[in-house]
Amino acid sequence: MNIHPIRDEQDYKAALRELSAYFDDEPEPGTEDGDRFEVLATLVEAYETRTFPIEAPDPIEAIRFRMEQGELTVKDLVPSIGKPNRVYEVLNGKRSLTIGMIRNLHRNLGIPAESLIGA
């Protein structure tokens, strides 16, 4: 099978070239080509995860994104955060989100809790 780890950009590009040929005519699982395809895909995924990590969004940016996405106003956040002045304090970074606010924003607006908790 002659497959090796993806250690650098050159290895990565070579693996992507080889994988792209399989996407046009995906091999049957359990065949030699199918196994090669699966192993290459796993190696590429591991390299991408290591090299191009995706960081969680800032909690306030997640709220602002949801507001923009749903054309929401400060008034729409009142049931989740509290009075308008509290909403402004949160959006301006002067007040942190509480566990209750995080739960409410997740439940009421569908914002992923992971995004609201932050890193």
Asked whether residue 1 is assigned to any structural domain, the reply reads no
In this structure, the answer to whether residues 63 and 40 fall within a common structural domain is no
Residue 52: the pLDDT is: 92
pLDDT of residue 1: 61
64 and 110 belong to one structural domain: yes
Round to whole Å and give the CA distance between 82 and 103: 13
Do 91 and 75 belong together in one domain? yes
Q: Does the residue 72 lie in any domain? A: yes
pTM of the model: 0.58
Decide if 63 contacts 111 (C-beta within 8 A): yes
Confidence (pLDDT) at 26: 87
Same-domain check for residues 74 and 109: yes
Q: How many domains does the chain have?
A: 2
pLDDT reported for residue 119: 53
Query: What are residue 60's phi and psi, to 5 degrees?
Result: -70, -40
Q: What is the CATH number of the domain that holds 112?
A: 1.10.260
pLDDT score, position 66: 95
- For residue 47, the enclosing domain spans 9-51
Question: What pLDDT does 55 receive?
Answer: 80
For residues 47 and 66, membership in a common domain is answered with no
- 23 and 47: one domain? yes
pLDDT in tens, the chain (119 residues): 688 899 999 999 999 999 998 888 889 999 998 999 999 999 999 999 999 988 877 999 999 999 999 999 999 999 999 999 999 999 999 999 999 999 999 999 999 998 998 75
Measured CA to CA, the distance from residue 34 to residue 26 in angstroms comes to 8
